[in-house]
Copies of this chain bind each other. A is one copy, B any other.
């Protein structure tokens, strides 16, 4: 309670709600398939988590206003601003609302490309960021592989590893989603070659050592990572070779000749296309198996997002993913689940792959974004390379960001935000179904039912839709060719859903 009182002393403060009195251990909350708090939660939902949050969007100018335009021009002198969506004023932002320099407040359901977990200026995070531990982590940054701090094990066990996916009790820490995925890829290549060599105790040949220095086989392995069409796994050279979202992400950049399988393209509503969809998933799995068996550069791993996010919010069924796990296991290929965008609660489970009820966990799960730090989890000790310095870099993550994730986990636990998001997601989805009935051309292929607030739909005038949204006080992102993706924070509540749905209707009327 001490920390709660301290949090309340801060402004803007987090109100205590009914849900705060039902604090439960995190584990059951994360893996509980029932959502028994839904009814009680709905009664509590009219109270805002954040004091100081506006009752609704505040629009003082067109966006960008004069102040924002001036700031953007100033920044353009030294920094590429052509992808700027809006200029923000973070000290003024609060909870689910992003502020700008012109005094506008937008309900933010894009949330820094799905990376803000528990609201702007969350007082519990502000408290964590003001501790001597945090100051120490910022000013004395260690090379974690060589000189870890005496409390690094404790920071991991009480934070990053407290929420580790079932069966994966080790972590390799990283900086962001892209290098988290690349280090997971490297672990897969090293593991596969160790197996081919006859185990971790078999040493490299001189030919391997020499040829590796010349970027040639056999030292530089002829192995690949299999990914899916319309996937997004990052934009560094290895990850970009697995990313298949948009040409603009890839053109002109050299790439590895790695294989891609078709991701099932489900038809909506799901219940009306059950057979077709099951057939699409079987065809996808068949293609994966064929590529594993025949691609001229054999895959050491398959990497997959639980929901293809940047690629347009493409879903597949738990059965598909269980099939993928079985298939990769059968062929001795590792399964890397990329939870960079889907992880940390937004789908109504802590990890999206918790929805799959896997008996045999993924080999590696990567995380970033809402975790505010990054890395990959693994369980099999053989995924630690057989010698030191094979997976290594100067910083290997950032303890300051690991401390912040610990505070985020505590906040999620304190407010039961995973179950909360499952419940609010159901509430929002039902309202969107009603909108879809009313405006079928504007809310096509509504998807994400039972997936918390991780909801999307297609709109034929998507880019205008997103631009127009700001006129009605909401900040929304797109993905894929024509998807509108909703990515609220975990602190998004029913009254925010009401505001959002009201705005969505105004947007389509104005299109």
Asked if A390 is an interface residue, CB under 8 A from chain B, the answer is: yes
Complex interface bits, A367-384 against B, C-beta within 8 A gives 1, otherwise 0: 011001000000000001
B235 and A393 contacting across the interface, CB-CB below 8 Å: yes
Asked if A425 is an interface residue, CB under 8 A from chain B, the answer is: no
Partner of A113, one of B116, B143, B171: B143
Alpha-carbon distance A201/B182, docked complex (angstroms):
33
Complex interface: stretch among A251-259, A315-323, A350-358: A251-259
Asked if A198 is an interface residue, CB under 8 A from chain B, the answer is: no
Partner of A150, one of B88, B138, B172, B190: B88
- Give me 17 other A-B pairs in contact (C-beta within 8 A), A86-B146, A116-B141, A212-B247 excluded: A79-B172, A80-B388, A83-B145, A85-B147, A88-B148, A89-B150, A101-B150, A115-B141, A115-B395, A125-B139, A129-B139, A176-B179, A179-B179, A213-B250, A237-B256, A248-B389, A254-B256
Asked if A219 is an interface residue, CB under 8 A from chain B, the answer is: yes
Contacts of A91 in B (CB 8 A): 132, 136, 140
Partner of A161, one of B78, B189, B247, B384: B78
- A:153-171 near B, CB below 8 Å: 153, 156-157, 161, 169-171
Alpha-carbon distance A122/B138, docked complex (angstroms):
11
Asked if A473 is an interface residue, CB under 8 A from chain B, the answer is: no
**Chain A interface residue bracket vs B:** 35 or more
Complex interface bits, A459-484 against B, C-beta within 8 A gives 1, otherwise 0: 00000000000000000000000000
B224 and A254 contacting across the interface, CB-CB below 8 Å: yes
Complex interface: stretch among A15-23, A69-77, A285-293: A69-77
Contacts of A136 in B (CB 8 A): 90-91, 121
Asked if A66 is an interface residue, CB under 8 A from chain B, the answer is: no
Interface residues of A (CB under 8 A from B): 67-68, 71, 74-75, 77-91, 93, 98, 100-101, 112-113, 115-116, 120-122, 125-126, 129-130, 132, 134-136, 138-143, 145-150, 152-153, 156-157, 161, 169-173, 175-179, 182, 185-186, 189-190, 192-194, 204, 208-210, 212-216, 219-224, 234-239, 241, 244, 246-258, 260, 368-369, 372, 384-385, 387-395, 400, 404
